[in-house]
């Protein structure tokens, strides 16, 4: 019997990214993420100015799964995988994660996150993963000289289906 090799049509970088997102989800019980707020810089109140409009960012939904078939509690929720490209100087505007959990993987460039719970920006280089959930509100800015490429896996509740990209 001759063996056959099947060539996958998925680019290696995307396959690795999807694998990392899956691994991140599998080990999310007690994660340790790079890019946490530096010691002594935690804030208890939001002290930052924050933008409300995106600038120089594309947000592309690569895949979405309707989770309604998993039961009433999941009705209308979507599991999404998105690719965000943030140009130098670009901004992902202020948003919250109290009802929309996400894992973000930075695959190219770097980007600075400005959290409501930190007095200073948090730098996220390529390879960094950050979990977004709970009482987190933040925005992102690419302060670098090259585009920052991020993959976001999130659960989008029904109330956010209309016009929610960031």
Burial class (CB in 10 A: 0-12, 13-18, 19+), 154: buried
Task: Look at residue 50 in the predicted model and tell me its pLDDT.
Answer: 82
Specify the pLDDT at position 135.
Answer: 84
Alpha helices in the chain (DSSP H): 12-26
Q: Which residues of the chain have pLDDT under 70?
A: 1-35, 45-48, 161-166
Residues 86, 147 contacting (CB under 8 angstroms)? yes
Strand partners, 153: 81, 103
Three-state DSSP class for residue 145: coil
Classify residue 135 by its DSSP letter.
S
* Cβ–Cβ < 8 Å for 122, 112: yes
Q: Which residue has the tokens 């396959």?
A: 15
If we measure between CA atoms, which residue out of 31, 35, 48 comes closest to residue 150?
35
The predicted model scores a pTM of 0.74
Tens of pLDDT along 96-124? Answer: 888 889 999 999 999 999 988 888 999 99
């Amino acid at each position: 019997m001759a063996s056959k090799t099947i060539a996958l049509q998925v680019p290696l970088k995307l396959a690795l990214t999807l694998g990392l997102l899956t691994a991140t989800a599998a080990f999310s019980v007690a994660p340790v993420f790079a890019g946490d707020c530096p010691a002594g810089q935690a804030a208890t109140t939001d002290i930052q100015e924050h933008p409300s409009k995106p600038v120089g960012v594309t947000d592309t939904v690569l895949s979405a799964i309707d989770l309604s078939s998993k039961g009433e509690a999941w009705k209308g929720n979507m599991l999404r995988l998105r690719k965000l490209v943030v140009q130098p100087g670009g901004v992902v505007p202020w948003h919250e994660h109290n009802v929309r959990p996400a894992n973000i993987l930075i695959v190219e460039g770097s980007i600075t996150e400005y959290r409501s719970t930190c007095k200073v920006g948090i730098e996220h280089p390529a390879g960094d993963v950050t979990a977004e959930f709970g009482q987190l509100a933040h925005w992102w800015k690419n302060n670098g000289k090259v585009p920052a490429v991020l993959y976001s896996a999130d659960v989008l509740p029904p109330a956010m289906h209309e016009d929610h990209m960031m």
